[in-house]
Chains A and B, each alone.
Chain A
Amino acid sequence: MKRMLFFSAAFLIVWLSLLPFLWFLATSLKTEVEITAIPPVLLPSATLHFYRTSIEQYDLLHYAKNSVIVAGSTTCITLSVSLFAGYALARLRLRAKGPILACLLMVSMFPQISIAGPVWRILQSLGWLNSYQGLILPYVTLTLPLGVWITASFFRELPAELEDAARVDGCGHLQTLFRVMLPLAAPGIFTAAILIFIYAWNEFLFALLIMTQQDYQTLPVGIALFQGQYTLPWGEIAAASTIATVPLVILVFFFQKRIIRGLSAGAIKG
């Protein structure tokens, strides 16, 4: 009886989590007629019609390319910057450790609108509106706390003897970091990479403000702004949404343990 109750709760959680998206996924595979049918068609005829129209009429691949460029570069840059910072905060003696961590925490918490106007003006004066670097730099800043937090929590767990041994063997600080500590912290770096990528892939507000020309817009901006002539193109929206989501679902199913570990490292350890 108790087991039954437990399994039905687990079943309910799984269904409530997946069902809305599965519905949208099914929608993307329907025909125009099936989308507007009442009662709704449960099993779509699995046509790729809307994928084709969203690519041909809405230039979906173009948005996808921009998303890959922006999220990919953000991930690489944030990682390298936060590796150094995370190592310093976790392993080195320095003053003002507390205030620096507090600053990072603050950056990760305040709402984007409190900096959106000025960031837009800064980028405008640099001529970087509608440019990849114009979006990547703010993204790096916003994902930095996440990156530093996770890498620091992984560095902190490595035994101090390793560093000492490296020093005794005559390694300098940089050598110790690159030869000894980095390889050992690789799992943490990978975890941080996944979370940073997801953040940059999903971000909408800054992308909307900074990329005003369609040429540079990322997937979320495209999906939010898809317009039909008279009605909303639900089929195309669903197809584009699926394309934007599938990479993330794959990441989640392959790396759920890392993601969970990374998310709780940000909150519990620190």
Chain B
Amino acid sequence: MRLSLLTRERFFAAALLSPGMLLVVIFAFYPILYSFYLSLHRIILGLPGLGQPFVGLRNYADLLHDRIALHALANTLLFVFSSTLLEVMFGLCIALVMNRHFRGRGFLRASILVPWAIPTVVSSQMWRFIFHDKYGLLNFILFGSDISRYQAWLADPSIAFTAIVTADVWKTSSFAALLILAGLQTIPDDLYEAARIDGASAWQRFRKITLPLVRPALLIALLFRTMDAFRVFDLVFVMTQGGPADSTNVLQFYGYKKIFAEGLMGYGSTISVLVFLVTFVTAIVYLRLLGKGMFGKPA
């Protein structure tokens, strides 16, 4: 009797889960496998007459010799590394400020959520306008009304990349801050009290109490930000279109261009697979670092 009750519960649970899992299978897992399948073929959207011949690993061999692709890979990794590092650093600072009790804390919290909530396309247009060569705010702040010194920031390969990182850090530091804040709030006040009585300075308290105890939250923030940074697309599409001279071309954007702008469904799919593998490996490394604590214990 008890066994049948358990079985019924399992059936019920499976029924509740099935719509969601069905969607995930159709629109997420099957497409990933399908991407891999496509990457083994030559498919050109504009030329359906060619069919889709199987070409084995030819696309992957081409990818290894595609200098723009390798450049985009390097750009992606550099973008992920620099933006997440800055975001977690700023996030920690913001979280430390938010963790205090003071009047107007609600306003502060709502304010930092604004950049997070703004559509990325909007924040990209906004930063593009700030970096504008003629009437951008940045030029005015740096050079005043001296138009002769105004720079076309986004046309400068060495600066465009920094501009993209800046826009991303502005938009997402607050998300990192919230995750870190959740970690800060689990640290009991007694610890600080005890340290203060023992005569520990503010810096010592930060080093010896805050930092070690907030470490798991920092890692989680890093994980989430890293995975999200790999998805950078809107910023590049709106602000630079990957230019100038491919200095802001990232894999997501390059893949998009190959598949949808040039119609190279087969070759573009190798880029999709590459992006997937790179993020997958990164995620595994992080999850190892975090240990098993990520997945919920049974309720």
Q: Judge whether B50 is part of the interface by a CB distance below 8 angstroms.
A: no
In the complex, A238 Cα to B294 Cα: how many Å? 41
Q: Could you tell me the dominant secondary structure of chain B's interface residues?
A: helix
- Residue numbers in B under 8 Å from A9 (CB-CB): 93, 97
Given contacts A241-B126, A268-B182, contact A112 B233 (CB under 8 A): yes
The reply to whether A115 and B147 form a contact with Cβ atoms under 8 Å apart is: no
Give the residue name and chain of the A residue nearest to B271 (CB): A113
Given contacts A113-B272, A264-B178, contact A103 B24 (CB under 8 A): yes
Chain A contact residue count (CB 8 A cutoff)? 101
Give the residue name and chain of the A residue nearest to B8 (CB): A173
Which residues of B88-128 are within 8 A (CB) of A?
Answer: 93-94, 97, 100, 102, 104, 106-115, 117-127
In the complex, A102 Cα to B12 Cα: how many Å? 21
Give the residue name and chain of the A residue nearest to B283 (CB): A109
Interface hit among A47-55, A185-193, A199-207 = A199-207
- Residue numbers in A under 8 Å from B175 (CB-CB): 263
Given contacts A103-B24, A256-B113, contact A10 B178 (CB under 8 A): no
Q: B residues near A, CB below 8 A?
A: 6, 8-10, 12-14, 16-17, 19-21, 23-24, 26-32, 34-35, 38, 93-94, 97, 100, 102, 104, 106-115, 117-127, 129-130, 134-135, 137, 140, 144-145, 147, 170, 174-175, 178-179, 181-183, 217, 220-221, 224, 227, 230-231, 233-234, 237-238, 251-252, 255-256, 259-260, 265, 268-269, 271-273, 275-276, 279-280, 283, 294-296, 298-299
9 extra interchain contacts, Cβ-Cβ under 8 A, other than A14-B108, A111-B231? A18-B111, A24-B125, A38-B140, A84-B17, A93-B9, A110-B279, A144-B24, A209-B256, A268-B183
Cβ contacts A to B, 25 pairs, < 8 Å? A10-B108, A17-B115, A39-B140, A93-B10, A94-B17, A103-B21, A114-B273, A117-B31, A117-B265, A117-B272, A118-B34, A152-B296, A198-B117, A202-B118, A204-B119, A204-B233, A204-B237, A219-B119, A245-B118, A260-B178, A263-B179, A264-B178, A267-B221, A267-B224, A268-B183
